[in-house]
Structure 1
């Protein structure tokens, strides 16, 4: 959405207009939180997805990610962050009440894992869709290994309401806010997020250390320091989850996914899905009668693309994400750079919602030039620097090709964020947004306040291993949530959801009338046409 107002101060003035500012009440937020089920000793649970939780394939709010042991809790979109958090807490309570003596691992980096074979791949049942979801995960294991897939994160889903885009577009002199214009504006937001997302691991990174079982090869341990019986860490790291040791994929560095326009994004992503891979050709076809991956292309499907942010449009049954985007444009964005917050029993706290609202609005209204390949590489280099050395005194980043102090750049960003927080405070008749921004700003001037520093400080001063510390938290959070009273859902409602999802899965399985081979061939033949 090209604006006639070209400076940030001009755009801020548009945002402050009552008809624009008041529309911000309709912002929607949703959370997807991943968490490993663990045994009392901290080892990975080997039990199947508990039937009492419902069908991982069909349940709207409780599913699994890569592994049977890797739960994923999904809230619906909410205008009020407190409601999103209330729903997330109720889901956690229900899960805890139905997993026996098991607990939920409170960190992003995995618990004690003997080997990759001890990470059970998620089972979605015998329907063709369920088999496809499991096969996709088998492909991930073969391509990248299971350890990386056992890492947990938090996804923050964010959308500005149509009322905002309508008011913003008119106040900016651009006329009607069409879906194409809205999609264009979301991509401007995404580009700015890429420029500034180094701030996320600095403020919220909580994985400066990890268990030695995660990095058994010597090359991975190189340059890391060891403490206790088997904890490895980098002294200034913020989020090893976002490093080469974590949930990234160096093989995708040459994909050249374009974030400048929706059509370019779709075509570059589809190209990766349609391009054969020499590396993954070794998993082509069947082994012992079983497929080893969905296909032998660079990406099996869109979800395989690792990115700290994604444009999203809800998909219909068997619809691919790129087809949904092509048909209906961008509906919301998914922020994927958040570590699990280990100081919250549900992995995220209310202040994070308030701060992320401010940051996302800033990314939406700040001028946003296209990203050249060089500029895109610069954003990646900045993110990597902060992930590995974010708390290093005097750390410098690159901004438009010039070196700049990370702290100075961060403080300049906070100067820009404070007026947005003030606008949101006025709209909601509160002060929580300004307080949240101020609290995060303190972390820039005092790195000891960051989660990564707090964790390392505890480990070094207590002599505890990373796993022991996490296990203590897991026990504490299980007790805390046992005392929580349902406030968004009722227990009966959650039980009914679980029961209904099992019925739905059984109906889907009974309705299948194709072999799995025919289903896969038809699925990719149809989607090949849509990519043409």
Structure 2
């Protein structure tokens, strides 16, 4: 079951460290009015400066709010941050404004030319205008949940101390392990789409007349109908990842390296070309739809599952480098097929999903993970066996005339009302352009709870 590195980690009783990923979360949601239209209100002043506040900003549209958490040591810590910052954003909204809880946008106006793009400074705004010319308005509007993962430094120290003959430097090891995890997530992305896909339909005017799926599907956002450029990355190693993106820019297939929106992105240096030398410091996972059953768009158990996957990928044997591109290409095809299945249908790849989750369960048993992980795996196994329990299948029970608008507005109002009843709403962004992570922690919690020191989620 274990690779050489995995066995080393297991023998040194350091498996817990492979699960101690530092996590950050980014959640995008559209601001809307109570009738389900994109909001006409200005950017909320109480959310701080949209160009300098690192914790609340926007993306593509002026109405597309993005909440960003600081890195946290445990899933529960990350969720505490997310709830607090999400509440701060909700408290800053104008009366009657709501946050749309679905990945696919609310109904769009037929004339989209007057909808303002995000105010992100001249360079970013020029990029957005060029992106709009190339891809059209609708493709920039889907929202999602992004998870940032970084490996516990203890893992690097242990491997380097015992395998110096294989890795010449910490950077070489970092790039190897992050590439290995990225390959795992891309190989099994279709499983995540099946288990967590939650964008079965699009609202009015997202698709041009006669375009788009004719019936609900598991995930429009994760399919070829969703966000982004179809440009494919090369995840064989970090250098080839950089080379492929730079060639895409040189060939005019990408506006800039920023336009590469693969399901996984290597992060760590603002200058992409330097990344192989300076080393990947974290992965950005971009394969989750918003979960409308949560006011913040994601659930703690989902984060735990993502951490379990990342740990499993570190400990398992790596793919043969010559096979990586072929395996990921096949997985991309599987993801497209799964995303376009009707939510109520048993997946074409049910047996494959069942076998993969059984492997994860065996892994969780062997490394003696806690009951919360076992419970999550049992729930996900139920989704594989009964597609009616998947998020998209649950969503389509709320369809009215092919729309989820009534359901979404009802949820959005409930979440907004709950946030406004908060005992101590956070007001710290209004007069402070840029809070550090430590300042944010102090302002948000003021000693009532201490992130990163909680023992609950170990």
Pair in the same fold by TM > 0.5: yes
Q: Is the 8 A contact 2:236 2:325 kept in 1?
A: no
**Change in CA separation of 1:469 and 1:331 when aligned onto 2, cut-off 3 Å:** same
Identify the match of residue 268 of structure 2 among 302, 308, 313: 313
Aligned partner of 2:432 in structure 1 is 497
Q: In the alignment, which residue of structure 2 is the partner of 1:53?
A: 47
Does residue 346 of the first structure (1) align with residue 289 of the second (2)? no
CA distance in 2: counterparts of 1:55 and 1:452, whole angstroms: 35
| Alignment match, 1:408 | 351
* Alpha-carbon shift at residue 394 of structure 1 (Å): 5.7
Counterparts of 2:432 and 2:365 in 1: how far apart (Å)?
Answer: 40
Larger gyration radius, structure 1 or structure 2: 1
Does the residue aligned with 1:46 lie in a helix, a strand or coil?
coil
Q: Which of 378, 392, 411 is equivalent to 1:473?
A: 411
User: Within the alignment, does 1:158 sit opposite 2:152 as a pair?
Assistant: no
For 2:398, what is the secondary structure of its paired residue?
A: helix
What is the aligned partner in structure 2 of residue 43 from structure 1?
37
Per-residue CA shift, 1:33-57, capped at 9, x if unaligned? 0010001111001233222211111
**Aligned to 2:205, what secondary structure does the other structure show?**
helix
Q: Hey, what does 1:270 align to over in structure 2?
A: 246
Residue in structure 2 matching 1:103, options 98, 101, 107:
98
Q: How many residues align?
A: 431
Is there any run of 5+ residues in structure 1 with no aligned partner, and where? 1-6, 125-129, 226-233, 276-296, 397-405, 502-532
Over aligned residues, Cα RMSD in angstroms? 2.5
Question: For the Cα contact (< 8 Å) 2:24–2:71, is it kept in 1?
Answer: yes
Q: Is the 8 A contact 2:56 2:67 kept in 1?
A: yes
Q: Which residue of 2 aligns with 1:131?
A: 122
Asked if 1:259 is matched to 2:235, the reply is: yes
Are the counterparts in 2 of residues 240 and 388 from structure 1 also a CA contact under 8 Å?
A: yes
Q: Is the 8 A contact 1:159 1:331 kept in 2?
A: yes
Question: Does the C-alpha gap of structure 1 residues 391 and 475 become closer, same or farther in structure 2, counting only changes over 3 Å?
Answer: closer
Equivalent pair of 1:425/1:434 in contact (CA under 8 Å): no
Determine if the alignment matches structure 1 residue 224 to structure 2 residue 200: no
Q: Secondary structure at the match of 1:121?
A: coil
1:325 Cα deviation from its structure 2 partner: 1.3
Whether 1:358 and 2:304 are equivalent positions in the alignment is: no
Q: How does 1:1-40 map to 2 (within 5 A)?
A: 8=2, 13-24=7-18, 26-40=20-34
Aligned pair partner of 1:439 in 379, 383, 388: 379
Q: Does 1:369 align with 2:361?
A: no
The verdict on how the C-alpha distance between 1:35 and 1:171 changes in structure 2, with shifts beyond 3 A counting, is: same
Q: Does 1:205 align with 2:197?
A: yes
Whole-angstrom CA distance in 2 between matches of 1:172 and 1:410: 34
| Structure 2 counterpart of 1:196, from 176, 179, 188 | 188
User: Which stretches in structure 2 are left out of the alignment for 5+ residues?
Assistant: 437-458
Name the structure where helix makes up a greater proportion of residues: 1
Deviation of the 1:73 alpha carbon = 0.6
Residues 52 and 498, structure 1, Cα contact 8 Å, conserved in 2: no
Alpha-carbon distance in structure 1 between the residues aligned to 2:418 and 2:11:
44
3-state SS of 2:50 partner = coil
Query: CA distance change for structure 1 residues 415 and 10 in 2, over 3 Å: closer, same or farther?
Result: farther
Q: TM-score, normalised by structure 2?
A: 0.87
2: distance between equivalents of 1:464 and 1:381? 27
Q: Report SS of the residue matched to 2:113.
A: helix
**Cα contact 1:156–1:334 (8 A) shared by 2:** yes
**Candidates 65, 71, 77, aligned match of 1:83:** 77
Native 8 Å contact 2:346 2:387 kept in 1? no
Would you say the 8 A contact 1:425–1:432 is kept in 2? Answer: no
Contact 1:313 1:324 in 2 (8 A): no
Q: Secondary structure at the match of 2:15?
A: helix
Q: Is the 8 A contact 2:141 2:227 kept in 1?
A: no
Q: Displacement, 1:142?
A: 0.8
Whole-angstrom distance in 2 between the partners of 1:208 and 1:108: 10
Name the TM-score, length of structure 1 as normaliser. 0.76
The structure-2 alpha-carbon separation of the partners of 1:390 and 1:113, relative to structure 1 and needing over 3 Å to count, comes to closer
The answer as to whether partners of 1:422 and 1:433 remain within 8 angstroms in 2 is no
Q: Post-superposition shift, 1:393?
A: 4.7
C-alpha separation between the residues in 1 aligned to 2:397 and 2:165? 52
Aligned-residue offset at 1:210: 1.6
CA distance in 2, matches of 1:388, 1:131: 38
> Does the CA contact (< 8 Å) of 2:24 and 2:149 recur in 1?
yes
Rate the CA distance shift 1:69–1:492 in 2: closer, same or farther, 3 A.
Answer: closer
Distance (whole Å) between structure 2 residues aligned to residue 500 and residue 414 of structure 1: 41
Judged with a 3 Å threshold, the aligned counterparts in structure 2 of structure 1 residues 476 and 393 are, in CA distance, closer, same or farther, namely closer
| Distance of aligned partners of 1:496 and 1:437 in 2 relative to their CA distance in 1, 3 Å threshold | farther
CA deviation after TM superposition for structure 1 residue 9, in Å:
7.2
